[in-house]
Structures are given as structure tokens and as C-alpha cells.
Amino acid sequence: MSGSESGGASAADPRPRLQKALANAGVASRRACEALITGGRVEVNGEVVFELGSRIDAERDEVRVDGVIVQLDVSKRYFVLNKPRGVVSTMRDEHGRPDLREFTDRVDDRLYNVGRLDTDTSGLLVLTNDGELAHRLAHPSFGVQKTYVAKVRGRVTPAVIQRLKDGVELEDGPIRADAAKLLPGGATGSHSLVEVTLHSGRNRIVRRMLAAVGHPVDELVRRRFGPLHLGALRVGELRELSAAERGALLSAAEDGEDHAASGITAGRPGDGKGARGMRGVAARGNPHGRGGGSR
């Protein structure tokens, strides 16, 4: 029996066929997944696989499409939340302050937040039931880039932006932004809008950097975490990652800082752009058809 006739497990070998596992993971339709395999765009444990009848161990084998990891375990779920100001980045606050349960009560799985945002900072927060991934991404040794937009007091000049990129000295050591810019139309007589990108996980680092150059922060929003972007997600909304975003996040965690900072975006199978652009993996919101959408 050929791989295209049946993608399921057999009594002799309970492992699923590769194209079946890819389709179940939300990468694309079964037929599109077969085309990805025969086109040499699928790797299993680092080796390109062309055979449609190949079977895999979904728990042990690492599968990549165009170099981007595919999460084969469909029980693992990943979300982004646009966290409002005033909400504590924990699933249960012992002091009774508003916490993340308000936004996750429609999700049956127990979720973990990946790192934290200050109570007075809003923006992108990753939530998942994949505890191992959450721990890896939140570890100080993992330098995932994060981009923030800050409303600061005073008129920010190009010289101030250069200081942020050159580095400033703080009580716990020097720090410099990976990128910084004054946003168009962001400067008024009393305030400026500044975008800052950095990979440090130090406490309140953006606020302290901007205060050190003479521009205290009044409002702060995180717009990007590694390959994930806040986009048009409204404050207080939660959404499940697409297959493309899941792959980008898993690849960032596996491959380290270079992949995390690459600005991976979602694409469509067959456009041939490769892993750097996360093209070749179909983007599907909530690919498993389960509850837990935005609220």
C-alpha cells in the first residue's frame, strides 16, 4: 500500500505516516504535505525524506518543513495574549490582584505564561501548556529579542536614540538596545514615542534604560516576542497560534537567538521562500478546531 493511499498506522507498525502526521499538525492538507515531502522540503532528524510511506515517532522524531520545526504533538497548545495594564503576569495572584485567569478560563488546558510583563506594562504575552518550552524561553540564557513601544516624557532627539544603541550604564551593569528609533509623528512638546528592541531579560530594563537617558516612561507596550508579533490583537484578547507561528516559536527555542531574532512570518506551502521567512508552512488559526479563542 502506498503512502498516498493510507496515512494511518498499521497493526504491524503503529507509527503514523509522515504526511498524515504533518496534516494532523495543521501544516497543510494531506495532498499538499505529500508534495512537500516529494519536493525535498521535509527533514526527519536532520535528514531529508522523500518517501511517502515513511513512518515517524511523533514523540521522539524532530520533523522540519523548510527548516522550521513542526509540533507533532497536537495536545500542545500555544497562545498570545494582549495583556492589559493592571494585570499581574501569573495564573493566580496571592494578593487578589487581577491575574491571567480572566483571559484563560475558556481554555481547558492548564497554561503557563512564558516570562512576565510588569503589571503596568501591556502587550504580547505567550501562554502555553508546554511547560518545557515555557521554561526554556523564559530562561535568562535564552536571548529572545523583544520589541517595545514606549511613550516617554520629553522630546527625544536623535542623540538620545544613539545613546540607547551605544549603551547606558545602570546599577546592575551596562545595557544597550539592539535597535531603537523615534516613531514618526511620535514627538510632541511633552512626550515622544520610542521603539526599543533588546534581548535582555533584566527586570524593568526598558523603563530603566529610558529613565537613564532622561526620558521616564509613562506607557509601555510589548509588540514583539521573538518571531511573534502582536499585530491587530486588541487589548484583553487571546488567540491560538497558527501552525506557522508555532513552528517559528519552536524553531526559535531549539535554534537559539539567531532564529528568535530573524523576524519569521507565516506563509503558504509552495511559495519556496525557505525557513528564514517561515514560508512553506500553511498558517492556520486554531488548527485543531478547539475552544479558547479571543475574548
Alpha-carbon span 16 to 46, nearest angstrom: 19
204 grid coordinates: 524593568
| CA atoms of 133 and 257, how far apart (whole Å) | 15
Residue 130 appears among annotated catalytic residues: no
With DSSP H G I counted as helix, E B as strand and the rest as coil, what are the percentages for the chain, rounded to 5? 20, 25, 55
- Cβ-in-10-Å burial (0-12, 13-18, 19+) of 5 comes to exposed
CB 272 within 8 A of CB 66: no
Catalytic position from the list 61, 118, 120, 255 = 118
- What are the Cα distances from residue 222, in Å, to 145, 161, 170, 250? 11, 18, 21, 20
Helix (H) or strand (E) holding 163: helix 158-166
Q: Which residues are tagged catalytic?
A: 118
